[in-house]
Each structure stands twice: as C-alpha cells, then as structure tokens.
Amino acid sequence: MRWLATLAFLAAFSNAPAFGQTPEVLTCMESGYTEDQQGAIDAYVAGFDINSMEGNDALAEALGYRAADCAGSKYADDDALMAIIQYQFSLLSLRGIEATRPDIGEVIRRIDEDLEPAARERLFTLFEISVFGDPETGEPRELTLEEDEFFSNAILDPPVSGTVEQAELIGAYMAARVMMRDAVNQISTR
C-alpha cells in the first residue's frame, strides 16, 4: 500500500482527464542514465514489491536527475518536473508489475480487450473516485454500495476473472496508468 500512497501523493500534482500522445520530454526519460542510475531502475523493476520502499531513494534520485536533464527551460518548474517524474515512476511500476506478476498483465489485458467499453469506462471512473476522490470537487468520496458491487464484480467476474489475491496489484496497475495519463496531459498543455 505504500506504493499506492506514493502514487496518491503524486496525484496531487495533476488532474487532467484524457490520454494524449507522449511528449518528447517523457520519451527522453527512457535513456541517458548513468550505470548506477540504470542499476537502480533495473533493480526496482526486477524486484517490484508493492509493500516495500527499499531502493526507492536511489530510484527517485535517478529519475530526478534525468528529469532535470530532459526538461529544458520549457519544463523546468516544479510542477512540470514532478509530472515528468510521476510519468516515469508509473511506467517503471507497470513494468515491475508485469515482470514480477505476469498474471496481473493478463487481467489488465482482459479489462482492456474483453470488458464492454461502457463497463470499462465506468470501472476506471469508479477506481479514480475511490482513490483520488470526487472528480468535481477533489474531496474524498466513498463508493456507494451499488458502485462498490459493480467495481468488485467487474474485476472478479468473467470476462475479467481477476482474484481477490490479485486485487491490490490490479489497483496499483490501474493507478499507474491513471498517473501516466495525467502526467502526459499536464505536460501536453505546456
């Protein structure tokens, strides 16, 4: 859950609704690390653990230095740098989940491909409300009984057929995607 708390903290820096094309500043974050920095990134992905913060300081340092290098003057303010780091942290977290738990990637594939579009949209909307609060006010809001039932059934029932054991990592994966989308939108509006 510490991982989700980190994402929730990063969420405070962004609040945009749609996914756009990845800006060049974000693709810059894919390379250009020192050997030690790349080692920290590789260790984070290979040893991804949703309940551990071990190695996150080295990862944060690597991402911070690279973000400053990639940002240039257009993205040099704190909000832009945070969005750049948020995007890359979320991307690496997705890769870590996929590397350590391929079954979660398969569940997400079923959400993306097998769930009816309206149900998928509602699932992500309810997820965002449960994690980040009411989209209109930003205030915390609990799901209603009906919303909670829909959310649970959408993940646990066919065609998705996730398990209770997978739920935390499914949520982490969904959160990372939301955070990436929000970072792209924040950067794209500059």
* Cα dihedral sign, 76-33-97-9: negative
pLDDT in tens, 152-177: 999 999 999 999 999 999 999 999 99
Q: How far apart are CA 164 and CA 161, in angstroms?
A: 10
Quote the longest CA-to-CA distance of the chain: 50
The pLDDT of residue 54: 83
pLDDT for 132 equals: 87
Find the domain containing 38 and state its range.
2-188
Count of the separate structural domains present in the chain: 1
pLDDT value at 3 more than 50:
no
